A and B are shown apart, each in its own frame.
Chain A
């Protein structure tokens, strides 16, 4: 079966712009989580969505937001981009994020802010 699909794979944006990243989870998985990976901070949790609702949120500013659709696909949005937002953004899907929590990751979106 298909794995987790993230689009686009690469993005270059200018400071002040906004960006939207997409994640399609494994079929049947209802929980989608987003992580940011930078050389300085490592892998950090952004937020989790389940049944179209944000269920958990990490310690990131309000410029980072997300949503989930009825087919479990998720998008994250970053507004007013800053240079420090340059990172690899990874999406993980799990069956339900609570009873069955084995996480499967997509290939990531590498965002560069110039």
Chain B
């Protein structure tokens, strides 16, 4: 089955810094989603992005389907950005990566 890998596994930033999270997938997928898991466990939708680039405020995402990767950019990070970020490859179900744990300090 499809393998989804995320890097880096951990990221520590100071408030205001920018970061790039990467998601590689091993085969063609129907779609790709990015989520932020809040401290209470809920997965919050960030992007639903099969290809191209989307932006939402300080966050943007780019998926290059032909090269089987997606990137999540966080600019001017804030402490509220802390948490775990997951990408999920959409086949006939979601295959999740192992996540990137982001900690943003003031």
Q: Which residues of A does B touch, CB under 8 Å?
A: 33, 35, 37, 42-45, 48, 56, 58, 88, 90, 92, 97-98, 101-108, 110
Contacts and interface: CB of A to CB of B under 8 A. Distances in A.
- Considering residues A56, A101, A106, which has the most beta carbons from chain B within 10 angstroms of its beta carbon? A101
Given A42-B99, A103-B33, A107-B40, A56 B45 contact: no
A101 B31 contact: yes
A58 to B, nearest CB: 7
A110 B94 contact: no
B17 interface: no
B40 A105 contact: no
Contacts of B33: 102-103
Contacts of B40: 107-108
| Main secondary structure on B side of the interface with A | strand
Interface of B: 30-31, 33, 35, 40-45, 48, 86, 88, 90, 92-96, 98-99
12 contacts: A43-B86, A43-B94, A43-B96, A45-B93, A56-B92, A56-B93, A88-B41, A97-B92, A101-B90, A102-B45, A105-B44, A108-B40
B93 A105 contact: no
Nearest to B86: A43
A28 B90 CA distance: 21
